Amino acid sequence: DAGITQSPRHKVTETGTPVTLRCHQTENHRYMYWYRQDPGHGLRLIHYSYGVKDTDKGEVSDGYSVSRSKTEDFLLTLESATSSQTSVYFCAIGRSSSGGHPEAFFGQGTRLTVV
């Protein structure tokens, strides 16, 4: 257990509505990530954070924003949900198993359906 909790685990929302997904960690790690998983595309990085209020875009950031006001929480917001954002979303933390380069450890995922 990497000490990561994603909420909600499942959500159905309507096109055009805002949606916020929450990632909470209990281990005080600096790096946090949001990915989406889609068939044929694997895992694609949406945004990541390297500290409180420090965030950067990933591979597929259009239509998404993030916030990190405290170390333990990393929020992903879909400003106006579209059907193309139907996906499984994974949060991850960067944690080093050997004291060197950190590895990504993932939460259980949030299945989001936009109808």
Partner 1 sequence: DQQVKQNSPSLSVQEGRISILNCDYTNSMFDYFLWYKKYPAEGPTFLISISSIKDKNEDGRFTVFLNKSAKHLSLHIVPSQPGDSAVYFCAASDRGTYKYIFGTGTRLKVLA
Site string for partner 1, 26-65 (x = CB under 8 A): -----x-x-x----xxxxxx--x-x-----x-xx------
Q: Which of 56, 76, 73 is nearest to 65 (CA)?
A: 76
* Least Å from the CB of residue 35 to partner 1: 7
Site size for partner 1 (CB under 8 A): 28
CB 24 within 8 A of CB 4: yes
> Which tokens is 67 given?
């916030």
Residue 37 vs 67, nearer CB to partner 1: 37
List, as one string, the DSSP characters of 94-115.
EE-SSSSS-EEEE---EEEEE-
Could you say which of 60, 92, 93, 112 contacts partner 1 (CB under 8 A)? 92
CA 103 to CA 93: how far, in whole Å? 8
Binding site for partner 1 (CB under 8 A): 31, 33, 35, 40-45, 48, 50, 56, 58-59, 90, 92, 94, 97, 100-109
